[in-house]
Amino acid sequence: MIIKTTKSIPSSEITDPLVFKQRRQLIKAMVAMGLTGSGLYSDVLKASEDKAVLTPTAAEIVKNHTNYYEFTFNKTDATKLAQVLPTDPWSVEITGEVEHPGIYHLEDLLSQQSIQEYIYRFRCVEAWSMVVPWMGFPLANLLKKVKPLSTAQFVQFTSVYDPDHMPNQKDKAMLEWPYVEGLRIDEAMHPLTLLATGMYGEKMPKQNGSPLRLVVPWKYGFKSIKAIVKIELVKKPALTTWSKSGPNEYGFYANVNPDVPHPRWSQNSERQLGGGFFTPRRKTELFNGYAEQVASLYSNMDLRHFF
């Protein structure tokens, strides 16, 4: 399912049909050759044909520009460093206020889901952005299977803790590890919120959060936690890693909002990666352009206070 926006998309952002087709063919070829394994991606091709979609940023950029602080504080080295992380087998613990808690094999979780492609904007709190074709499924579909209790008000996510393979966890560097994120239950159940297992028609590269990561397109990138090992349904909001580290700078909500600057820098515009030099910056949109779908979640909230 692709969430279409009714807004017109500037022609510069529409993929050249030729490029688009080539990419489709490439994916088809790969699926045919069985390169993507398990056949999880066979549903992909049905989605998003002939639709005016955002132009994805070049895959090479997305694969080589990551904030994966468990490995490194720069954006390039995780491409190499993350490759040592063992991701197979992988299990996810689902616990807390839920009818069917348990430790699930990732394969089992995925076998119940249909993986589709979702092309979303991705806006980093550092004021750069990209457009990523994620492969995944709505988090809601998973939550519905495990059945949250009525007491579940929030969802808390925890990343893998593996200091043997993650140098900055070993050094106890900068943040408190493991990385923790959270969403309000209605945010978690929103159809735009994904659990992603791949991108660009391929399995998720390790540096991008393999094997399972969150994608919340209307929030700053740091909300989209990588390498998830635990999903907890809880009564109270999690004290998330970044808000613990800088409570005045990174809030629980972290909704993209050009009118609420970070205390030290503006969020008014963003540099779109993959553009050339002198390409104008993009004016940042409220909720990263997804206001139509998500603004109602925050209708009674002061977004300056709940940043």
Partner 1 sequence: MNFSSKKTYLISLFLCLLPLLGIIIDLLFDNLGADPIQTLHIRLGDWSLRLLWLTLCITPLQTFTRQRGMADYRQMLGLYVFFYASLHVITYVWIDQGLDWGNIAIDVLQSSYIWLGLLAYIIIFLLAISSPKVAKKKLGKNWKKLHRYIYIGSIAVIIHYYWQLKGNMAEPLFYLITLSILLMFRVAVWFKNRKFNKMMIPTTKRIKVVTVKKLSEDQSTMVYSQKLVVEEDD
Least distance from partner 1 to the Cβ atom of residue 273, Å? 6
Pick the binder of partner 1 from 17, 32, 37, 264 (CB under 8 A).
264
What are the tokens at 243?
A: 């808000």
Pick the binder of partner 1 from 268, 296, 301, 306 (CB under 8 A).
268
Handedness of CA 56, 57, 61, 66 (dihedral sign): negative
Least distance from partner 1 to the Cβ atom of residue 171, Å? 11
Q: How far apart are CA 68 and CA 129, in angstroms?
A: 16
Handedness of CA 257, 259, 260, 264 (dihedral sign): positive
What are the tokens at 6?
A: 């009714």
Least distance from partner 1 to the Cβ atom of residue 172, Å? 13
Question: Taking CB under 8 A as the rule, does residue 176 contact partner 1?
Answer: no
Q: Residue 199 forms beta bridges with which residues?
A: 134, 202
The CA distances from residue 95 to 10, 45, 99, 190, 218, in Å, are: 44, 34, 9, 20, 26
Pick the binder of partner 1 from 38, 76, 151, 296 (CB under 8 A).
76
Q: How far apart are CA 216 and CA 92, in angstroms?
A: 19
Pick the binder of partner 1 from 15, 67, 114, 141 (CB under 8 A).
67
Taking residues 198 to 237 in sequence order and writing x for each that binds partner 1 by CB under 8 A, - otherwise, the string is: ----------------------------------------
**100-159: contacts with partner 1 (CB under 8 A):** 125-126, 128
What are the tokens at 228?
A: 């998830």
Interacting residues toward partner 1 by CB under 8 A: 60-62, 64-65, 67, 69, 73-76, 125-126, 128, 174, 261, 263-269, 271, 273-274, 277-281, 283
